Amino acid sequence: MLGDGRPLPAHDAFYAELTTRNTPLITPEEQERLRTATILVAGCGSIGGAAVEPLIRLGCENLILAEPDGYDIANMNRQAVRLQDVGRNKAVVIAERMKEINPYATCEVHDHGITAENVEDVTSRADLILDGVDVTTKPPLRHKVHLHRHAREKRKVVVSGYDIAGVQMLLVYDYRDPSTELLDGKVKLDEVEKLEPFEFLARVIPFTVIPIEIIPELERQVRGEGGGFPQLVYTANLFGVLAVRATIDILAGRPVRKRVVIDADAALRPRSQKPGIEYRRLRSLLRLNKQAKALRKGAGSAPDLVH
């Protein structure tokens, strides 16, 4: 039943009306491919969660949602969580909400996240994988690496996202190409058990994309004074924008860039400020790298941030 009392249209009629405004920007062939494809969203927090609703609204009807964590109040600054959702599993909540948008869509929930028990099954059935698995602690980081390992074995495409202050970096790992290394060669399988989250991020995120706004926090992290990284809603939502467009292109067989970086803060700055900020950013990064090297000599733990 619709909100105005009318009965819900039959599936095909509902879908046609839901997607009518996509035409002609999305072709009938692209729309059908999106409708029938199975998309695995691994991690339904600020990154993966930002892609689910636009996928459903665009016409995706087959999602696999994997997320082990529940919402807390601190998630509300950037995730689509309501007070009544706090304490509940993120994937379960998202699946319920998506049914309120398209009741015919299927959202299969794995409320233990990506695990050793389900990773082979869910990667096998996915036509495309959106990787939003958390990397702030070691257990999910291991699951992220093994997700990529299985995706590579099964020749799947993985789209990953990383938000850094106002920067959203989208990485596309096209494992359909046998020459594509695991995580583009940044991480080896035999390193997974000992790899720390900060070291992983230092390898995956090029220093050239690190914005000036996050450098004070990185300095605290290097000194061992970390806590959780700050995250912003507009940066997280950028992953949804980029990942959904990438999904359309990849399913249609079109090539996409391996790395896309959007700095929302920098995009809004007057041109006159950019040279000075870039100079300060590079100086700060060099200082940060010296601090990391000095700590590594003393403790053997801080990563080299400049590669």
Q: Computed from CA positions of residues 42, 47, 50, 51, in that sequence, does the dihedral angle turn out positive or negative?
A: negative
Q: pLDDT per residue over 236-295, tens digit each? A: 999 999 999 999 999 999 999 999 999 999 999 999 999 999 999 999 999 988 887 776
Average pLDDT over residues 176-189: 96
Element (H, E) at 170: strand 167-174
Q: Over the chain, what is the mean pLDDT?
A: 93
Q: pLDDT per residue over 109-118, tens digit each? A: 999 999 999 9
Q: Give the pLDDT score at 288.
A: 87
Task: Report the distance separating Cα 285 and Cα 212, nearest Å.
Answer: 8
Whether the predicted pLDDT of 302 surpasses 60: no
Whether the predicted pLDDT of 90 surpasses 90: yes
Instruction: Say whether 169 sits in a helix, a strand or coil.
Output: strand
Angle separating helix axes 28-36 and 233-251, nearest 10 degrees: 110
β-strand 157-164 against 167-174: which pairing, if any? antiparallel
Whether the predicted pLDDT of 63 surpasses 70: yes
Task: Report the distance separating Cα 131 and Cα 160, nearest Å.
Answer: 5
Task: Report the distance separating Cα 212 and Cα 120, nearest Å.
Answer: 39
Task: Report the distance separating Cα 200 and Cα 27, nearest Å.
Answer: 39
Whether the predicted pLDDT of 305 surpasses 70: no
User: pLDDT-derived band of residue 307, with 50, 70 and 90 as boundaries?
Assistant: very low
- Order of strands, sheet of 62-66, starting from the edge strand that comes earlier in the sequence: 106-110, 62-66, 39-42, 128-131, 157-164, 167-174, 259-263
Phi, psi of 169 (to 5 degrees): -115, 120
Task: Report the distance separating Cα 251 and Cα 34, nearest Å.
Answer: 7
Find all residues with CB under 8 Å of 158, minimum gap 6, and list them.
129, 130, 131, 147, 148, 151, 172, 173, 175
Residues listed for the chain: 307
Q: In sequence order, which ranges of 154-232 are alpha helices (DSSP H)?
A: 197-204, 215-222
Q: State pTM to two decimals.
A: 0.93
Task: Report the distance separating Cα 189 and Cα 228, nearest Å.
Answer: 26
- 11-268 placed in CATH 3.40.50.720: yes
In whole angstroms, how far apart are CA 169 and each of 67, 206, 236? 21, 10, 10
Q: In this structure, what is the dihedral angle of CA atoms 138, 139, 140, 146, given to the nearest 10 degrees?
A: 100
Structure tokens at 121: 């099954």
Q: Comparing 224 with 212, which gets the higher pLDDT?
A: 212
Task: Report the distance separating Cα 22 and Cα 45, nearest Å.
Answer: 27
Element (H, E) at 17: helix 11-18
Average pLDDT over residues 158-172: 97
β-strand 259-263 against 167-174: which pairing, if any? antiparallel
Q: Give the pLDDT score at 304.
A: 55
Q: Do residues 292 and 305 touch, judged by C-beta distance below 8 A?
A: yes
